[in-house]
Each structure stands twice: as structure tokens, then as C-alpha cells.
């Protein structure tokens, strides 16, 4: 694809990926200690800006969670009447995507858990909205503050045309009354995870976007994920600080037949932001990876979309086990919003409890029906699913590859792999005790060759979205899920020769929860 010299130098992404891999040796040699006296606040706070209260009407709609998740991918513009969300609908989208749903008290202080799972509960992803006039809210650029469920206006006026230009005239952005922009403040996650936090930008944005796409679908807004845009143009518009923050995605919401007018001049923002912690540690690899995967012109953003297509990843089939997901009329009817409010991250699995093959089939089916994203063709995916099955009724224990076109599991190696699963899941009992572990893997060489360094963002983000959908599909069926990190190369080695050349992107463990004894 056409791109900046930085983006085409894919050795940057390869070096970053290799240098942030987990191995048993790297874990033993890492003497990083958590300084809880310097732990960053999980919120970005503008202390001098007035708040605009959001609407707290969260009565669940009638759309069952698993029905909403059945929507396939592919970017298509609506042909019906305009869809312009009002402040109430926008409030629901923000709350069920990234709002605070529960609080727990610990000796070190309170933790405010949000609607989506996040590495270390550190919540470094922020949402901004760029909108024209909508019912209940005037045109402007706003920051969403989960801590008080309110908006702060950063700029007054309609700046949507800036995003249209930055995205290379992307049609959904050009026709959206509102575009949400996600961004990460790196230190809020790097405090614990160091340079590996850049991976977490897209893992955590991915699980957030799983919620966001689902709730937008339930509201009839037809959201999509746009990852091709001129980074610095968007970041300057939002007033993000270079090296400390980075824009990740654009998500246009709704549809209007009128393109936005010419935007006002965007002067440099100089807004006071509350300090996150006493001091901040810079991990240069994060900033280098973000800069090397940035696009520098609208033409590059257009070219990014032009190369989107699905690779055919063919492998000789082994012994396959056909799966039978629940039919629509058999699915649980619990609304999406209720499932989001119940969702957590399971802390202990019951090793003696199993899930059924149909429940697992439903998770896999609903998770892999496609993501509406500009780097994917209709129904396309750059992620393969590999599984270690421990306790699934109707399936022998063993390792598997999910053949999504056939909705079948290909048996790779039969046997009890609980011990190795615990090791692969960074020596955590959760991976060994779960009923099944689902690994999102990708051919990283193929992604980098097609998209440049920015392809690294894309595959991490898609894996995060699929991981978030796995969470929702599991909780909708009343069993648990949790995301885990992993020993990178050992995951590939375990599933090889089938997975040779592929890299692990995300790991989700599923099973029945148990209380700590």
C-alpha cells in the first residue's frame, strides 16, 4: 500500500513485537515493581471545563444480546431515512460502551469497573466525540468523563469536516452526525505493563469496541470502525499530547444525507489537564511504534482502505467435529444492556464443571460473524481461532482449530492439556481450570506486508474486538470468561505445525465460575 516511509519500514513493528514478547526468561528477568504511591488515576480530568450532564435513562431495550451480536461485518451506507441520535441515545451508547457499572473497595482504595474488560482495570482508553448539532447537544468536540458521566466541550462548532479530510473522505465519517474517537493515555497502562502497553491499547480498545458496536447496533446506528486516518491531524484536533497519547480509531455513528460544512479554524488547544500521578515513566518503544504506524496524508488513508481484503488461509483438514450453535429461537433472551451490567472477569473457574458443545459453538459463531472495519472486506477476518478444550460436553479434550466457514472444530492433538494451558497462560490457574481457552492468532507477516506497521494495530484491534465478543457471548449464556496474557512463542509452538508462522494476539478463558475457598 501507499504509505509513509515510517509505516512501510515494518522492521519497527517486528522489533516491537519481538521485544515485548513474554517468555519464562523475560518474566524471571523483569524486576519491575508496582509503585502504588505513584499509580496513575484511571481518568482524564479537565478541572477548568464546565460539564454537560448526560442522560441517565438506562431502561433495557428488547434486543437480546446474542441477537445483536449476530450482525455481520462489512461497511455499507444505509439507504433509509436519516439516523441522528439525540443526547439520550448518545448517553446510552457511552454508558454501555465505557461507563462505570460497579465499584469495589479494596485496601488500597476503590476500583471503578467499566462496561468493558480492561487489562489490569487501569482504563487508559478515552472517548471523544466530534458532532454537529444534535437534539440536546450543540456542535462541538467533547471529552467523555466516566467519573461523573458528563461531557466537557473542548471546541465549540462543527469540526466533522476535519475528520472527513483526515480519513481520506471516508463515506461513513462524511455522513455521520457524530463520530467517536478513541485514544489512549499510555502511562495509565504502562505503569504496570511497561512497553507492552501499546499492545494493550488495541486489546482494551477492542473490548470497548465490541460493546460499542453491539450497543450502536441495538440502537439502529450502524456503527463501523475506521482505522485509516492522518494521526497527527486528529490528535491535534483533540489536543492530545504527542508521545503521551495517541488516537486509535474513528467510529461514525448514525447517518445524515448532508455532508458537514467547512470547519472553523482549529487553533492549538491549551487546556489544563489534571496530573495522573506524581511522576511518569516514558517507554520510548511505545511512542516509536505509534509514530512508525502513523499515516501522514489523506491519500495514505484512502490507500489503507483500498487494500482491505480477506486472505484465504488454507490448511489440510484433519478430523473435524461439526458444531451446532443454538438457533435464534433457542437463544437466551436477556437484553444486551443487562448482560453488559452483569459481565465481569471470572477470577476462579470450577475445574469440575463443563459447558456444552452447543454453548461453545454459539460463542464461536456469534464472535466470528465479521467486524465492520475499514481494514476488512465483508465477512473477512485476519484472525484465526485456536482452542484448548478441557471440559466441553460432546468434545474430546485436546487442541483444535476453528473452521469458521464450516462451523466445525478440527482436532489437532487429542489429550489432557491442562498443565500446558496453565503454562501458556502465564502460569495462571485460570487457564488450567477453565473449560476451554480460545486463542486469537494471526499471520503477522501477511498483515505487515499488506498494511505496513499499521497492520499491527489492525490485527491487535480485531483480536480485542473478538475477545470482547467472546466475553459477551459467554455471559449471555450464563457462564464466565476472562482475558489472559500468554507466552507468545510457546503458544505458536504448541499449535504448530498448523499454526506455524502465526502470532498470538489475544487469549480468553471460558468456564463455570466458582467462589474462592
Q: What is the pLDDT along the chain (517 residues), one digit of tens a residue?
A: 444 558 989 999 999 999 999 999 999 999 999 999 999 999 999 999 999 999 998 777 778 999 888 765 555 665 567 899 999 999 999 999 999 999 988 777 788 999 999 999 999 999 999 999 999 999 999 999 999 999 999 999 999 999 999 999 999 999 999 999 999 999 999 999 999 999 999 999 999 999 999 999 999 998 999 999 999 999 999 999 998 999 999 999 999 988 999 999 999 999 999 999 999 999 999 999 999 999 999 999 999 888 875 444 444 556 789 999 998 889 888 999 999 999 999 999 999 999 999 999 999 999 999 999 999 987 789 999 999 999 999 999 999 999 998 999 999 999 999 999 999 999 999 999 999 999 999 999 999 999 999 999 999 999 999 999 999 999 999 999 999 999 999 999 999 999 999 999 999 999 999 887 6
* Whether residue 345 is found in the same domain as residue 286: no
* Whether residue 279 is found in the same domain as residue 341: no
* Whether residue 267 is found in the same domain as residue 369: no
Q: How far is CA 133 from CA 139, 239, 260, 339, 405, in A?
A: 4, 21, 11, 32, 43
pTM score: 0.95
Q: CB–CB of 173/161 below 8 Å?
A: no
Q: CB–CB of 485/449 below 8 Å?
A: no
* Whether residue 94 is found in the same domain as residue 117: yes
Which helix (H) or strand (E) is 399 found in, with range?
strand 398-403
Quickly list DSSP for 64-119: BHHHHTT---------SS-B---HHHHHHHHHHHH-EEEEEEETTEEEEEESS--G
Evaluate whether residue 7 is within a structural domain: no
Evaluate whether residue 195 is within a structural domain: yes
Please give the grid coordinates belonging to residue 428: 495462571
What is the structure's pLDDT at 74?
A: 55
* Whether residue 280 is found in the same domain as residue 346: no
What is the structure's pLDDT at 2?
A: 47
Evaluate whether residue 134 is within a structural domain: yes
The C-alpha angle with vertex 311 and arms to 491 and 446, in degrees rounded to 5, equals 55
Please give the grid coordinates belonging to residue 456: 499491527
Evaluate whether residue 302 is within a structural domain: yes
* Whether residue 302 is found in the same domain as residue 327: no
- Count of domains in the chain? 2
As a whole number of angstroms, the distance between CA 276 and CA 160 comes to: 29
Last residue of a domain, one of 271, 306, 341: 306
Domain hosting residue 435, numbered range: 319-511
Q: For 426-478, where are the E strands, in sequence order?
A: 436-442
Please give the grid coordinates belonging to residue 11: 522492521
* Whether residue 295 is found in the same domain as residue 352: no
Evaluate whether residue 482 is within a structural domain: yes
Evaluate whether residue 22 is within a structural domain: no
* Whether residue 259 is found in the same domain as residue 181: yes
Last residue of a domain, one of 306, 331, 358: 306
What is the structure's pLDDT at 319?
A: 76
* Whether residue 291 is found in the same domain as residue 336: no
What is the structure's pLDDT at 398?
A: 98
* Whether residue 42 is found in the same domain as residue 155: yes
* Whether residue 350 is found in the same domain as residue 375: yes
Q: How far is CA 212 from CA 53, 93, 136, 362, in A?
A: 20, 7, 21, 21
How would you list the strands of the sheet with 178-185, edge to edge? 51-53, 150-156, 140-145, 125-131, 178-185, 245-253
Coil, strand, or helix at residue 381?
coil
**CATH classification at residue 98:** 3.40.109.10
Last residue of a domain, one of 306, 341, 363: 306
Evaluate whether residue 166 is within a structural domain: yes
Evaluate whether residue 250 is within a structural domain: yes
- Is the bond into 413 cis (omega within 30 degrees of 0)? no
Q: What is the DSSP letter of 350?
A: -
What is the structure's pLDDT at 210?
A: 97
* Whether residue 284 is found in the same domain as residue 387: no
Amino acid at each position: 500500500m501507499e504509505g509513509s516511509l515510517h509505516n512501510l519500514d515494518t522492521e519497527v513493528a517486528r522489533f516491537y513485537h519481538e521485544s515485548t514478547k513474554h517468555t519464562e526468561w523475560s518474566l524471571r528477568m523483569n524486576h519491575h515493581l508496582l509503585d502504588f504511591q505513584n499509580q496513575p488515576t484511571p481518568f482524564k480530568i479537565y478541572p477548568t471545563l464546565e460539564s454537560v450532564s448526560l442522560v441517565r435513562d438506562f431502561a433495557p431495550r428488547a434486543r437480546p444480546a446474542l441477537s445483536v451480536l449476530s450482525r455481520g461485518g462489512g461497511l455499507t451506507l444505509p439507504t433509509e431515512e436519516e439516523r441522528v441520535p439525540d443526547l439520550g441515545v448518545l448517553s446510552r451508547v457511552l454508558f454501555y460502551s465505557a461507563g462505570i457499572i460497579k465499584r469495589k473497595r479494596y485496601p488500597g482504595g476503590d476500583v471503578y469497573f467499566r462496561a468493558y474488560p480492561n487489562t489490569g482495570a487501569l482504563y487508559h482508553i478515552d472517548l471523544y466525540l466530534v458532532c454537529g448539532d444534535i437534539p440536546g447537544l450543540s456542535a462541538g468536540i467533547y471529552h467523555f468523563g466516566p467519573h461523573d458521566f458528563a461531557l466537557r466541550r473542548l471546541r465549540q462548532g462543527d469540526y466533522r469536516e476535519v475528520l472527513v479530510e483526515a480519513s481520506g473522505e471516508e463515506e461513513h465519517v462524511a455522513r455521520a452526525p457524530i463520530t467517536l474517537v478513541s485514544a489512549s493515555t499510555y502511562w495509565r497502562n504502562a505503569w504496570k505493563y511497561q512497553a507492552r502497553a501499546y499492545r494493550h491499547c488495541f486489546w482494551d480498545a477492542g473490548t470497548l469496541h465490541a460493546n460499542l458496536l453491539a450497543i450502536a447496533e441495538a440502537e439502529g446506528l450502524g456503527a463501523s470502525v475506521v482505522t485509516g486516518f492522518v494521526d497527527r491531524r486528529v490528535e491535534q484536533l483533540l489536543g492530545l499530547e504527542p508521545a503521551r497519547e495517541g488516537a486509535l480509531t474513528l467510529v461514525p455513528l448514525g447517518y445524515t444525507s448532508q455532508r458537514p460544512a467547512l470547519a472553523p479554524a482549529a487553533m492549538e488547544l491549551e487546556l489544563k489537564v489534571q496530573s495522573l500521578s506524581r511522576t511518569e515513566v516514558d517507554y520510548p518503544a511505545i511512542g516509536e511504534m505509534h509514530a512508525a504506524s502513523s499515516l501522514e496524508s489523506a491519500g495514505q488513508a484512502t490507500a489503507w482502505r483500498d487494500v482491505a481484503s480477506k486472505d484465504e488461509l488454507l490448511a489440510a483438514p484433519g478430523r473435524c467435529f461439526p458444531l451446532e450453535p443454538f438457533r435464534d429461537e433457542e437463544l437466551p433472551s436477556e437484553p444486551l444492556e443487562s448482560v453488559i451490567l452483569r459481565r465481569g472477569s471470572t477470577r476462579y473457574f470450577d475445574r469440575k464443571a463443563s459447558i456444552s458443545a452447543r454453548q461453545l459453538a454459539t460463542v464461536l459463531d456469534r464472535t466470528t460473524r465479521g467486524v465492520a472495519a475499514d481494514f476488512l472486506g465483508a465477512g473477512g477476518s485476519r484472525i484465526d481461532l485456536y482452542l484448548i478444550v478441557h471440559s466441553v460436553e460432546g468434545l474430546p479434550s485436546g487442541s483444535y482449530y476453528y473452521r469458521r466457514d464450516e462451523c466445525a472444530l478440527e482436532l489437532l492433538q487429542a489429550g489432557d492439556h491442562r498443565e500446558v494451558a496453565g503454562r501458556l497462560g502465564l502460569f495462571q490457574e485460570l487457564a488450567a481450570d477453565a473449560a476451554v481457552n480460545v486463542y486469537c492468532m494471526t499471520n503477522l507477516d501477511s498483515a505487515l506486508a499488506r498494511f505496513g506497521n499499521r497492520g499491527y494495530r489492525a490485527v491487535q484491534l480485531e483480536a480485542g474486538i473478538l475477545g470482547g465478543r467472546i466475553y459477551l457471548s459467554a455471559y449471555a449464556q450464563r457462564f464466565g470468561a476472562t482475558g489472559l496474557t500468554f507466552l507468545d512463542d510457546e503458544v505458536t509452538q504448541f499449535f504448530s505445525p498448523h499454526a506455524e508462522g502465526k502470532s498470538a494476539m489475544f487469549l480468553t478463558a471460558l468456564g463455570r465460575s466458582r467462589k474462592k475457598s
